[in-house]
Chain A
Amino acid sequence: MGLLHTVNKSPFESNTFDICLDYAKDGSTVLLIEDGVYAATTGTSAADKIKDASGVSFAVLGPDLQARGLEGKLADGIKVVDYEGFVNLVAEHDSVQSWL
């Protein structure tokens, strides 16, 4: 089922998120974790890019979003997963690419 990509850097602090999107093919999933969750919040250019990447699925790790007080700012089209959901995503995909 394609690759699972994880991104753990803020889209404002590094180009990791953009590079990941360049590599994410249709059918793959991008999971935003740690400071990567900022890309999942409304009113950011990163959220616009997520909207435009129609063939790619997006998920965000809920506990990291909650830690940062941004649950209410989640952009549309992004699934929230817990740690168990993270494990399931790993199991469902062919391999994992961690963009550090």
Chain B
Amino acid sequence: MAVKKFMYVNRKAPYGTVYALESLEVVLIGAAFDQDVSLAFIGDGVYELTKGQNTDGIGQKNFSPTYAALGDYDVNKIYVEKESLEERGLTLDDLQHLVWEDEDEDWAEKDSIRLVSRAELADVMAEQEILLSF
């Protein structure tokens, strides 16, 4: 099967709408097909990755721990847009620390999140073959 470059573009905050959860479900399904997968978090999408989410009080499933499992599915190119974080008063420290283990380097643990500018992300987006928008 030919490998294609897939990017999932996440622009919605979690819980208020179902987009964030649906995106995560599709990413996990897609991960089974050994494609070249990237995730982009822009706009309110950066809120999906905040650490310390606790949904006990709202009666919805807390799906945020699933992002930490993406590395195990070889989903390890997670682009977070710098300008979107700044507009929201957030820094990388407010987000989960997502890692993956590099098989080619004796399973060395590496960061999955790549902090990029809007212009840089536009370049990465332009290189993709398939874009899925949430």
Contact = CB atoms under 8 A, between A and B. Distances in A.
B88 A68 contact: no
A44 interface: yes
Given A10-B44, A41-B89, A43-B89, A71 B52 contact: yes
B129 interface: no
Interface stretch (A22-30, A49-57, A59-67, A89-97): A59-67
Nearest to B52: A69
Contacts of B15: 34-35, 64, 67-68
Interface string B33-61: 00000000001100100111111111010
A58 interface: no
A38 interface: yes
Nearest to A8: B16
B89 A69 contact: no
A63 B89 contact: no
A78 interface: no
Given A13-B43, A38-B47, A73-B94, A68 B89 contact: no
Contacts of B28: none
- Is the interface on chain B under 10, 10 to 19, 20 to 34, or 35 or more residues? 20 to 34
Interface residues of A, number: 26
A43 B85 CA distance: 10
A47 interface: yes
B54 to A, nearest CB: 5
B89 A44 contact: yes
B32 to A, nearest CB: 29
B89 A73 contact: yes
A10 B58 CA distance: 17
Interface string B68-91: 000000000000000000011110
Interface of B: 12-17, 43-44, 47, 50-58, 60, 62, 64, 87-90, 94
20 contacts: A9-B16, A10-B13, A13-B43, A13-B44, A43-B88, A63-B57, A64-B15, A64-B58, A66-B55, A66-B57, A67-B14, A67-B15, A67-B54, A67-B57, A68-B53, A69-B51, A69-B53, A71-B52, A72-B52, A82-B57
